[in-house]
Amino acid sequence: MEISRNEIKELRALQQKKYREERGLFIVEGEKMVQEALDSALEVVRVYRRDEIGPEAMARISALSTPSPALAVVRIPAPRPVSVQRGLCLALDGIRDPGNLGTILRLADWFGVDAVYASPDCVEAYNPKVIQASMGAIFRKQPIYCDIDALCEAFLKDGVPVLGTFLDGDDLYETALPREGLIVMGNEADGIRPEVARKVSARLLIPSFAQGPTAESLNVAVATAVVVSEIRRRGRNA
């Protein structure tokens, strides 16, 4: 299969957010990820295979240091409307690291989280590093970008609890937890911003079990896993 210089240029341009937004497309790399894309409800525009275009061409269109055998161009799905979703949901307030966002989407997929919301200043979901870290979860759990402050208000107004993690919160393992609600996770450096924190109805602390000096806090993706896992465990045993 021939691949033109213009096509290579277009594919390389999709490594940048500006062009992904303009064209409504993103790239997926890796045999497993490409197959997940093909099996998903998303539209796969084109698939490139190293055996068909040659290793040199694949290296030119790949963003990976070691190009994978397959790469796909996928259409970005239309944004979902913002609404109060019943069940267990996540609200990400200012998550900037693509690895963290991708990992959180993977966790949401694993634990059956019903919706993932993200503030507008969160990293873009179709960033190549987010895609890779999500390990295919991006095809099932696309975040809904919205005003998290207003979202918390809407959940509370609808009678759904809003939970968040804080260093001065109540011990996660000693506190009654709801089976459904909106869990707010904050920025890697600054945590949940004050205006959003004021909307949180249950402030939770993930306690340290260390006997001596310990890390100041947990990575946001790790903290998300701990909270969601404990809520799911309680729900299973209820």
**What are the pLDDT digits (tens) for 160-187?**
999 999 989 999 999 999 999 999 999 9
pLDDT given at position 218: 86
Q: Do domains 5-75 and 88-237 have the same CATH topology?
A: no
- The model carries a pTM of 0.93
* Section 120-141 average pLDDT: 96
Q: Dihedrals φ, ψ of 54, to 5°?
A: 95, 150
Would the pLDDT of 30 be above 70?
yes
The class of domain 88-237 in CATH terms is alpha beta
**Percent of the chain with pLDDT strictly greater than 70:** 97
Positive/negative CA dihedral, 200, 201, 206, 211: positive
Q: Which residue has the higher pLDDT, 212 or 107?
A: 107
| Of the candidate ranges 60-64, 193-197, 210-214, the one whose mean pLDDT is the lowest | 210-214
pLDDT given at position 217: 74
Q: Dihedrals φ, ψ of 229, to 5°?
A: -60, -45
Positive/negative CA dihedral, 83, 89, 92, 93: positive
- Please report which confidence band the pLDDT of residue 209 belongs to, taking 50, 70 and 90 as the band edges: confident
Cα separation of 225 and 104, whole Å? 8
**pLDDT, averaged across the chain:** 94
* Section 116-130 average pLDDT: 97
Positive/negative CA dihedral, 76, 12, 128, 138: positive
- Strands 144-145 and 70-75, by their bridges, are unpaired
pLDDT given at position 2: 78
**202 forms bridges with which residues in the sheet?**
163
Angle, CA 128 vertex, CA 10 and CA 188 arms, to 5°: 145
SS3 state at 82: coil
Question: What residue ranges do the domains of the chain occupy?
Answer: 5-75, 88-237
Angle, CA 164 vertex, CA 162 and CA 165 arms, to 5°: 165
**Domain 5-75 grouped into CATH 3.30.1330.30:** yes
pLDDT given at position 109: 97
| Other CB atoms within 10 A of residue 224 CB | 24
Do 202 and 163 touch, CB atoms closer than 8 A?
yes
